[in-house]
C-alpha cells in the first residue's frame, strides 16, 4: 500500500529518529510513505493563535498538494500537524464563510481543494485486527521484560476521536502487546505534556512532564513510548532539568512507537535512529 505522507517540521529536526524508524518499520508491513512535494509548515497551535484563517490557509495548501496525487489518505506522524490539518478540513467544510475565503485564496494561487483528503495518524493504519496479526507475524525478537508506559498525548484523540477513545485510548497498547511487551496500565494516557510550555513557561512545562515521568516510574515502567515529536522531546530532553527541579532521579528512555516496533522486528539500530537517544538505552536493550 502506498500513502501520501506529510512529515511536518519536527521530524526533520529534533524528531528525525521518528521519521527514520517510521518509514523503515512500515516498509516491513508493506506500507510505503510518499512525501508530498514542497509541503509547508502546518502552522501548529502557535500560528492559529495569531490568525486562524491564515493557519487554515497554510493547511489547505498542503491538503491541496495531497489531493493532486489522487490518493485520499494523508499520513502525518506529528500530533500537532494531524490536528491542524484535520481541523482546517473540518472548518472549511463546516463554516461557509471560512470555506469560501480559503478556497478563493487557493484559487488566487492556481490551486484547488475539493475536500477529498482524509488525514490519518500512522497509529490509525496499524490499529485494525488484521494489521495487529501482521505485526505479530513479523516479530523476530519479542520484547520480553519490556514494561512500556504508553503515552498518547492530547491531540491525536482530541477533539476528533476518529479512531480511538479520547480519554482511555487502546491502539498503542494493542501494538505494544502484539510485540510481546508488557503494557503498564495507567489513567494518564492523554494527559497533556504542555507542548511548547517547556520552552516558554518552563516551571509549568516541567511540572506537567514530571507528573507523567513520576507515574511511569512508580508503576515500574522501564520505558515510555510516544506518538508525537513534541511529547517525545519534552519527556526525554527535559529529564535532567526535571531531576534538578524536583530532586528526582529519572533516567527513563522515551522511544517512538515505531522505534520499538523496529526493535521487535529485528531491524538494525541505524535504521531506527536509536543512536539519537539522549537517555541511554543500554539497560533497556539488555533486558530483551
Partner 1 sequence: MEINKRIKYEKELDDSFWRWIVSTPGGENVEQCIQCGMCSGSCPLSIYMDYTPRRLIAMIKAGFKDEVLKSFTIWLCSSCYTCTIQCPMNIKVTDLMYILKQKAIENKKYPKRFPISVLSKEFFNMVSKKGRNTEINLVFKLLLKTNPLKFFGMASLGLKLIKTGRMNFKSDAIKNIKQLKTILNSIEE
- H or E element, residue 224: strand 223-226
DSSP 3-state assignment of 217?
helix
Taking the C-alpha atoms of residue 216 and residue 226, their distance in angstroms, rounded to an integer, is 13
> From CA 279, how far away is CA 39, in angstroms rounded?
32
Q: Which of residues 61-80 bind partner 1 (CB under 8 A)?
A: 61
Cα-based distances in Å from 186 to 35, 151, 239:
35, 9, 20
What is the signed CA dihedral for 101, 103, 107, 113, rounded to 10 degrees?
Answer: 170
Indicate which single residue of 27, 132, 276, 288 sits in contact with partner 1 (rule: CB under 8 A): 276
Q: Which of 93, 100, 167, 219 binds partner 1 (CB under 8 A)?
A: 167
Which lies closer to partner 1 via its Cβ, residue 91 or residue 149?
Answer: 91
- Choosing from 78, 85, 123, 197, the residue that interacts with partner 1 (CB under 8 A) is 197
Query: Which of 27, 28, 52, 136 lies at the binding interface for partner 1 (CB under 8 A)?
Result: 52
Asked if 29 interacts with partner 1 (CB under 8 A), we say no
Q: State the Cα–Cα distance between residues 172 and 179, nearest whole angstrom.
A: 11
Q: How far apart are CA 3 and CA 31, in angstroms?
A: 8
Among 34, 144, 200, 251, binds partner 1 (CB under 8 A): 200
Between 31 and 103, CB nearer to partner 1: 103
Tell which one of 201, 218, 285, 287 touches partner 1 (CB under 8 A): 201
Which DSSP string corresponds to 145-191? T-EEEE---STTTSS--SSS-SSS--HHHHHHHHTTPEEPP-S-TT-
Minimum CB separation from partner 1 for residue 222, in Å? 21
Q: x/- contact string, 136-165, with partner 1 (CB under 8 A)?
A: ------------------xx--xx-x----
Stretch of 55-63, 129-137, 246-254, 255-263 lying at the interface with partner 1 (CB under 8 A): 55-63
- Measured CA distances, 279 to 239, 250, 252 (Å): 9, 10, 7
If one asks whether residue 108 binds partner 1 (CB under 8 A), the answer comes out as yes
Candidates 28, 47, 125, 162; binder of partner 1 (CB under 8 A) is 47
Question: Which residues of this chain interact with partner 1, rule CB under 8 A?
Answer: 9-10, 12-17, 38-41, 43-54, 57-58, 60-61, 91, 94-95, 97-98, 101-102, 104-106, 108-111, 154-155, 158-159, 161, 166-167, 190-192, 194-197, 199-202, 204, 208, 237-238, 240-241, 275-278
Amino acid at each position: 500500500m502506498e500513502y501520501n505522507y506529510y512529515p511536518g517540521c519536527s521530524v526533520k529536526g529534533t524528531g528525525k529518529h521518528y521519521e527514520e524508524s517510521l518509514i523503515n518499520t512500515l516498509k516491513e508491513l508493506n506500507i510505503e510513505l510518499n512525501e508530498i512535494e514542497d509541503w509547508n509548515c502546518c502552522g501548529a497551535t502557535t500560528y492559529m493563535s495569531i490568525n486562524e484563517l491564515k493557519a487554515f490557509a497554510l493547511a489547505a495548501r498542503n491538503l491541496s498538494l495531497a489531493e493532486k496525487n489522487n490518493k485520499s489518505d494523508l499520513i502525518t506522524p506529528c500530533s500537532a500537524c494531524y490536528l491542524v490539518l484535520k481541523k482546517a478540513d473540518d472548518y472549511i467544510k463546516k463554516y461557509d464563510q471560512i470555506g469560501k475565503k480559503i478556497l478563493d485564496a487557493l484559487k488566487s494561487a492556481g490551486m484547488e481543494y475539493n475536500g477529498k483528503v482524509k488525514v490519518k495518524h500512522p497509529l490509525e493504519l496499524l490499529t485494525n485486527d488484521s494489521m495487529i496479526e501482521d505485526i505479530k507475524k513479523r516479530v523476530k525478537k519479542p520484547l520480553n521484560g519490556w514494561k512500556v508506559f504508553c503515552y498518547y498525548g492530547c491531540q491525536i484523540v482530541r477533539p476528533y476521536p476518529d479512531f480511538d477513545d479520547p480519554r482511555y485510548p487502546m491502539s498503542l497498547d494493542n501494538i505494544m502487546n502484539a510485540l510481546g511487551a508488557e503494557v503498564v496500565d495507567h489513567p494518564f494516557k492523554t494527559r497533556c505534556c504542555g507542548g511548547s510550555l517547556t520552552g516558554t513557561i518552563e516551571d509549568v512545562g516541567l511540572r506537567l512532564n514530571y507528573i507523567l515521568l513520576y507515574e511511569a516510574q512508580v508503576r515500574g515502567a522501564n520505558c515510555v513510548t510516544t506518538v508525537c515529536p513534541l511529547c517525545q522531546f519534552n519527556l526525554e530532553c527535559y529529564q535532567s532539568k526535571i531531576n534538578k527541579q524536583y530532586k528526582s532521579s529519572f533516567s527513563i528512555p522515551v522511544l517512538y512507537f515505531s522505534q520499538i516496533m523496529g526493535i521487535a522486528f529485528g531491524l538494525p539500530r541505524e535504521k531506527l535512529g536509536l543512536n539519537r537517544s539522549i537517555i541511554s538505552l543500554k539497560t533497556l536493550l539488555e533486558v530483551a
